[in-house]
Amino acid sequence: MTETTLPVLITGASRGLGAALAEALAPDRHIIAVGRTTGALEELDDRIRAAGGQATLAPMDITVPEAMQQLCRSIHDRWGGLALWVHAAIHAGPLAPAPHLADKDLDRSIAVNLRATARLVSYVAPLLGQTGRAVFFDDPVGGEKFFGHYGTTKAAQMALVRSWQAETVKTGPHVRILAPRPMPTATRARFYPGEDRGNLTDIHSEAARLLPEILEA
């Protein structure tokens, strides 16, 4: 299959920017939508189909290695590879002072934001080959007060991704790190509960703004 007919994998596609990008990409690409919430994925599928696109739903937890291995094997067997991987999955650990970080919340943040990302890089890289693209999203809150669970693991995730980006400059795949504008997502609401959400960027508008950077050759 050619690059233009290979599918797009979106991890964290059930809601927020991941869902908006799935809808934005669906008119021209088959979307493989990964998320933990089956109902939200089914609603995404309805919207994609209503607009004339197609999606394969994968209601899975990205922290389960066997599930991700099976998914990637299925992608290889059916399509032979991927044109694009968009990683929008994130765990928003609760805000807390640094001396009071809960082990269970820190462990979950590490499992989702760092360990699962590292595994997925190893599983998805062969599917992207030399010409595919991988897209990640930075959020520079590391070091802000009370962001120990999320900020620490998000910064570690970005360090990993930047290493991969530097390693693949000459060989591919093309690894991109983008910085979305603040959006009225569930993650942001958890961090900033009293914020005026009317001043935030609509997720679909932000997806449209980022799309040219995501697809840039």
Q: How far apart are CA 69 and CA 103, in angstroms?
A: 27
163-171 mean pLDDT: 98
Question: Which pLDDT score is estimated for 183?
Answer: 96
Q: Are 54 and 217 in contact (CB under 8 A)?
A: no
pTM of this prediction exceeds 0.85: yes
Q: What is the dihedral of CA 160, 166, 168, 173, to 10 degrees?
A: 60
Q: Is a pLDDT exceeding 90 seen at residue 216? A: no
Q: Is a pLDDT exceeding 90 seen at residue 141? A: no
Q: Which fold has domain 3-211?
A: Rossmann fold (3.40.50)
Give the tokens for residue 69. 């291995």
pLDDT in tens, 27-61: 999 999 999 999 999 999 999 999 999 999 999 99
- Of 102 and 141, the structure prediction assigns the larger pLDDT to 102
Q: Is a pLDDT exceeding 70 seen at residue 6? A: yes
Q: How far apart are CA 27 and CA 43, in angstroms?
A: 16
Q: How far apart are CA 87 and CA 67, in angstroms?
A: 16
- Say how far residue 92 (Cα) sits from the centre of its chain: 13
Q: How far apart are CA 214 and CA 85, in angstroms?
A: 10
pLDDT in tens, 114-140: 999 999 999 999 999 999 999 999 998
State yes or no: cis peptide before 173, omega within 30 of 0. yes
- For the chain, what is the radius of gyration of the CA atoms? 17
Q: How far apart are CA 10 and CA 2, in angstroms?
A: 19
Amino acid at 127: L
Angle in degrees, CA 17, 10, 113, rounded to 5: 75
Q: What is the DSSP letter of 177?
A: E
Q: How many helices (H) and strands (E) does the chain have?
A: 8, 6
- For the chain, which residues make up each domain, given as ranges? 3-211
Instruction: Give the pLDDT band (50/70/90) at residue 3.
Output: low
